[in-house]
Amino acid sequence: MSKLAWLSLLCLPLLFSSGSLANDVNSKGAATKEELCTLYRQYANAKDKERIRSLVYWQGVQDRERNAFNKSIEDDSQFTIKSVEITPLDKNQMMEYTLQGITFRPTLEPIGNLVVTYEPRGTVSALSTSYLVGAKDARYYIILASPVQK
């Protein structure tokens, strides 16, 4: 086998196991907002982080935002879910930010927030996590920030 063929075989798994391509392929979302809530709760209760990640629209999301989401679901996995619901967007909710000269916006048009509220535990009496929700092609997704394309 030629050096080029060996190099291709070595690099191909790296392409599919790292970064955006592997995660983008697994984005499934949900058919309805209610199903998004149900699936999030089901996957979180099962501590199935990979299936939780399948509810995220990953296209254009960079590693920093991916890692922040992964840390969030990891940290939250120690708590018991009390409720999961979709709430309306707050009229003053920040939808854009700039970091190191790069402007970030949600990957899809936000339509609400997925709010996960947890049971009190120890010194934590009130804990909730909120994610933006967007829709594309009749599917609902948790959406994260991505750099604005110029």
pLDDT at position 6, please? Answer: 30
Per-residue pLDDT tens, the chain, 150 aa: give them: 433 333 333 333 333 333 444 444 478 999 999 999 999 999 999 999 999 999 999 999 999 999 999 999 999 999 999 999 999 999 999 999 999 999 999 999 999 999 999 999 888 889 999 999 999 999 999 999 999 976
CA distances from 146 to 66, 129, 142 (A): 10, 20, 13
pTM of the model: 0.81
Range of the domain at 60: 3-147
Output the CA angle 63-65-71, nearest 5 degrees: 100
Query: For the chain, what is the domain count?
Result: 1
- Phi, psi angles (nearest 5°) of residue 8: -60, -45
pLDDT computed for residue 90 by the predictor: 94
CB–CB of 124/89 below 8 Å? no
How many other CB atoms are there within 10 angstroms of residue 102's CB atom? 11
Both tokens of 40, joined, read 């999030």
- Residue 150 has what pLDDT? 67
